[in-house]
Each structure stands twice: as structure tokens, then as C-alpha cells.
A and B are shown apart, each in its own frame.
Chain A
Amino acid sequence: MSKRKPYVRSMDGWWKKNPYFVEYMIHESTALFVAAYVFILLVGVVRLGQGEAAWNAWLEALKSPLSVVCHLVLLAGAVYHTYSWFKILPITMPPVIVGGKKLAPEVLTGTALVVAAAAGLALLALVWRIAL
């Protein structure tokens, strides 16, 4: 008779056991920050659809100190999402071949972060143009 009795270890708390996994869980959690902000935005869109008074009430609500503090936290989460999203880009997208060689991961991430910064600034510029 076989004396085999393979032991399967529990996965409980696996993500606490390695700093790499802790960082993974932190960057995964940025989705919650993005979702929270998008919910606020969705409320804004609904209020916009309800007319001027409703829209102004939404704008007023955003002025409360609690709201501003919340948005600072959401900003930190959103920025970390951007950073972590592009940090894993060299693995999540097919390799980019330049001059017969695979583009170095740091170059790819760096380029993507520059593009993201440019996209953000372009959006700011657009909002400026609308404002004037």
C-alpha cells in the first residue's frame, strides 16, 4: 500500500507573506479609489441632467473640507494606479521591438508615464480653453 500522503498547504493570508504580494494588493486596491471617484462623477452627471439647481448643489457639496480631503486621498490612489498600471505594462503588452531589439522595460514604462502626464496636461489645457 502506498505510504504517500501529500500535504496541501493553506493559501490563507498568502498576500501578507511577501513584500512583493503586499505591493500587488496595494496596487490592485487602487481600483477602489478609481471606482469611488467615478461614482462621484456619476452623481455629478445625474445632477447635471436634473438641471441647474441640482448641478450647483453638487458643485457646492464638493467644496466641503471633507470632500476636498477625500479627493486628495483619491488623487493619491489614482496617481498610484497610473504608476502601477504602466509599471507592469512591459509584461502586460506584447514586446516592442526597436531596431531588432526588445525595448527595455524601464524605457517603456518611462515613455508611458510621459504620455500619461501629457494626456493629463492636455485635458487641463482643454478645460482651460472651455473656461475662457
Chain B
Amino acid sequence: MSEQKIIEIEVLRYNPETDQEPHLELFKVPFTDDMSVLQGAQYIKDNFDGSLTFRWSCRMAICGSCGMMINGIPKLSCETFLRDYYPNRIRIEAMSNFPIEKDLVVDLSGFIEKLESIKPYIIPREPRTLEQGEYIQSPEEFNKYIQFTSCINCTLCYAACPQVGLNPDFIGPGAMALLHRYNMDSRDGGAAQRMELVASEEGVYNCSAVAYCSEVCPKHVDPASAVNINKANAAKDYFLRFLSPKGGSK
């Protein structure tokens, strides 16, 4: 039988009831090759310190709960494996650019508000009654937005975006990708309503095309592209609103 391998996991701890600021704590975790970083955290919670706090659910990269900074890189801890770091030390921290609630749990309320603000639902281009039947959509029309539907709201893109950290009001990559998903849907007619947000001071022009959001996205949504396409759309709206009869958005 081979020797039990031990990996060092450094965890950024923060207890709002006792700590003034976060600090690192080191754990020596026995592991097997099939163990994810999430399982490493679970081992610590079960065996060393039951107060270690982190979010997780599905363990298979679809629920989007277990994002954290792993050696400074935003990743889903369920699909990142301890074996890929051994024999080096791993450092896990709460996702960057969010306030830390406790240990690895961040405060997502700002993100949830942003998500609501983009009107993430179909605003019918032409309302139809049940008798009129379903909306027809061609494969070409479907392909225009399908990529942007893959978002699992893991917020790794927010953790990757320095502009979100510098200006927490920036609507950010994930919400903009979802906004773009609805704008690009042939059934939707809400683009003009959403433009007010896109073109606002909280909108797309906070982005300086760092593009790291698209790099870390586990679902290849490419939020950077969605944000930048909407810079062009907002510029068009800015200059052409003088020509449009309705005057564009405010």
C-alpha cells in the first residue's frame, strides 16, 4: 500500500463576531487523487474545525455555489483537484471583489440586485394569446443567444473583474451576459428598456476590456464579449437617439 499523501491547505478565515480582519490558517489534509479542493475543505470541516464556512451543493460544476480563489485564481472548487497542486501548498480564499461574510462565504446581495435590475425575463416583442399558439424560433435565431444561457451565476467573473472591485456599482460581466441573452432572443423586445441600464454610469463603460472574466468562466459564456458588444450598442444609442423619433432611452 502506498503512503498516505498530505497536502497543506491554507484557508483565509474570517469570523465577523470575533475578527477585525481575515487571517490565514494552515491545515494538513490527507488526500487521495480523486479529491477535489471542495472535498479538501469538507475534510477540514469534518475533522479539524467544524466552524469552517463555505457554500457548496451539487459537486459537479452546475450549481455554481462553490466558487473561491484557489491560489489567487477564481475557480469552482468542485472541479479543481488537490492532486494538481500537490506537493505545493494550496491557498483558498473567498472570491475577490465581494465582501466576506464569513470564511469562504461572500455577500452576494449586490450581485442579486444587479441580476434583478437587468430584467432577466422575456419581455414579449409582440404579446400573444394562448389561442395564437407558441412563438416560433429558427435555429439561427436560437444560436444567437444560446451561448449566453449557459451562465450558472457562479460569479467567478465578478471575482475576476478588477473594475467590479474598483467600482462595486458596475453592473458587471455576468449580469451583462444575461442581459445580452435576453436582448438577443428573437421573442424579446426589451432591449430599449434595458438600454437605460447598459448606457448608464453603472453600465458597460466601466469595463476596460481586461477580459479575465471570459478566461475564468467555467461555462464559456464569454461575458467580456457580451459587455463589449453592448458598448457598441450603447454608443449607437447615444449618438442616434437624436435621430430616433422616440429619442432613445433617457
Structural contact, B100 and A91, CB atoms closer than 8 A: no
Known contacts A9-B96, A88-B211; is A95 also within 8 Å of B225 by CB?
yes
- A8 contacts the other chain (CB 8 A): yes
Known contacts A11-B165, A15-B162, A92-B228; is A6 also within 8 Å of B100 by CB?
yes
The interface on chain B, measured as residues whose beta carbon lies within 8 A of the other chain's beta carbons, has a size of 31
The interface on chain A, measured as residues whose beta carbon lies within 8 A of the other chain's beta carbons, has a size of 24
- CA A4 to CA B107, docked complex, whole Å: 10
Task: Choose, from A17-25, A44-52, A61-69, A123-131, the stretch at the interface.
Answer: A17-25
* A-side interface mostly: loop
Structural contact, B16 and A6, CB atoms closer than 8 A: yes
- CA A21 to CA B212, docked complex, whole Å: 8
- CA A17 to CA B140, docked complex, whole Å: 42
Structural contact, B17 and A14, CB atoms closer than 8 A: no
Known contacts A15-B162, A91-B224; is A8 also within 8 Å of B16 by CB?
no
Chain B residues with CB under 8 A of A9: 22, 96, 100
Interface residues of A in 6-61 (CB under 8 A from B): 6-9, 11, 14-15, 17-18, 20-21, 24, 28
Chain A residues with CB under 8 A of B209: 88, 91-92
Structural contact, A8 and B99, CB atoms closer than 8 A: yes
List the B residue with the shortest CB-CB distance to A17. B72
